[in-house]
Amino acid sequence: MNILIVGGGGREHAMAWKVAQSTLVDKLYAAPGSDGIASVAECAPIDVMDFQGLADFAEGHDVDLTLVGPEQPLVGGIVDYFSARGLKIFGPSKAAARIEGSKSFAKALMKNNQIPTSHYQTFTDYQQAGDYLQQVGAPIVLKADGLAAGKGVIVAMTMAEAEQGLKAIMKDRKFADAGARVVIEEYLEGDEFSLMALVNGETVTPLAIAQDHKRSFDGDKGPNTGGMGAYSPVPQIPGKIADEAVQTILKPAASGMAQEGCPFTGVLYAGLMLTKDGPKVIEFNCRFGDPETQVVLPRLESDLVQVVLDVMDGGQPALSWSDKTAVGVVLATAGYPVSYPKGRKLGDLSALPDAALLFHAGTKKNGKDWLTSGGRVLLVTRLGDDLRTTRDAVNKDLERIATDDVFFRKDIGHRALEAAEKP
């Protein structure tokens, strides 16, 4: 088979790395891909929103299956476009991708299907939103209702933060038009985890869980980012909790979508909080998580392409997982997620040992050098026998290639280590 992967970030590099290992694959393409992805796939410089260009490429290169990384093309209808042209693609339709594209759509789905989530209210009026804030108090969470790459969220622990946050979203339009409508929701307290599943209609095939680290600095300090590192499995979240979440969250979501006439096909991602009342939904995404994919796919022993084909045929394939712990740590440009320079030279990436899986996110090759070209630059994953030594080994890898222009969190997995130390 010939496969096309749409996207060019760290998640897509991990997808391409995994797909390249499939015995079913002849030719692997990525669009636009990246200089890093070029080590495993042939890259074509086509924008992820250029559906016609992508479909022309897929036709011209006898692509048998297209996999999509980022949410923007899915929310924009790439699956509908490819399907209309008779091209096979794994992902949700535009209607189904609303589960991520619109927080209010997702909230209504959860309400209609008794899926546990936080209480919330939606506002388009600044004054009314402000009055509601005074009424409910802090801690409280504010979300711009639209895509802001996981960054349109403010978790306010105090009233002052909440008021500033509301102004930033609705008045200053910090997240652009996504701030025309704000969701104000109850703060959920607990351990967060990410549960992804391959879904086709009402059939749900869950993947191993992972835990992301959203805040930029050690100790979960600093602003929310797209994710600074992840690990899988998550020992402090018992297996029965993940099973419960499949039953109370993923399956009702999939059947709810089918009943509403927009069945979901593709990767359904649930960002969950394990509260004292059980797992509750923070958000749904309509695609693989980033950086969760970079630690979950390295643990998957099954052939990803075969698994996707089975799911598309209506099957529920049994997946085989490595017992090892995967830890992935993001190297980011200083200043991320606010503002950051590009084009800074990184250390010698070829110095990394083979055991360090390198997934490029925002890099550019310049002769023999690698330069930064994004906020999240790259991620290194290692598989190991225990979390601490694996994490320490990844930190050493990153120390070898880091410069003054970049930073990374050294405490990925801290919640699991703290939970293990509790008497």
Residues 6 or more apart in contact with residue 379 via CB below 8 angstroms: 10, 229, 291, 294, 328, 329, 330, 331, 358, 359, 361
Shorter beta-carbon distance to ligand AMP: residue 287 or 360: 287
Q: Where are the alpha helices (DSSP H) in 2-158?
A: 10-19, 51-60, 71-75, 78-84, 98-101, 103-112, 126-136
Residue of the chain from 290, 303, 310, 397 that contacts ligand GLY (CB under 6 A): 290
Q: Say whether residue 289 binds ligand GLY (CB under 6 A).
A: yes
Name the minimum Å distance from CB 172 to ligand GLY: 24
- Residue recorded with tokens 């619109």: 102
Rounded alpha-carbon distances, angstroms, from residue 341 to 215, 332, 337, 345: 20, 11, 11, 11
Contacts of ligand GLY in 128-187 (CB under 6 A): 150
Residues 6 or more apart in contact with residue 229 via CB below 8 angstroms: 212, 213, 291, 327, 328, 329, 330, 379, 408, 409, 412
- Among 19-27, 47-55, 284-292, 385-393, which window interacts with ligand GLY (CB under 6 A)? 284-292
Which residue's beta carbon is nearest to the bound ligand GLY?
289
Q: Say whether residue 200 binds ligand GLY (CB under 6 A).
A: no
Shorter beta-carbon distance to ligand GLY: residue 297 or 371: 297
Name the minimum Å distance from CB 61 to ligand AMP: 35
Residue of the chain from 91, 227, 256, 328 that contacts ligand GLY (CB under 6 A): 227
Say how many residues touch ligand GLY, by CB under 6 A.
7
Name the minimum Å distance from CB 291 to ligand GLY: 6
d(CA 90, CA 240): 29
Q: Say whether residue 70 binds ligand GLY (CB under 6 A).
A: no
Shorter beta-carbon distance to ligand AMP: residue 122 or 302: 122
CA 119 to chain centre: 23
Exposed e or buried b for every residue in 251-265, given b needs 16+ CB within 10 A?
bbbbbbbeebebbbb
Name the minimum Å distance from CB 216 to ligand AMP: 12
- Among ligand GLY, ligand AMP, none, partner that 107 touches (CB below 5 to 8 angstroms by kind): none
Name the minimum Å distance from CB 101 to ligand AMP: 13
Question: Which letter does DSSP use for residue 344 in this model?
Answer: P
Residue of the chain from 34, 200, 265, 285 that contacts ligand GLY (CB under 6 A): 285
CB atoms within 10 A of CB 164: 15
Name the minimum Å distance from CB 330 to ligand GLY: 10
CB atoms within 10 A of CB 169: 27
* Contacts to ligand GLY by CB under 6 A: 150, 212, 227, 285, 289-290, 292
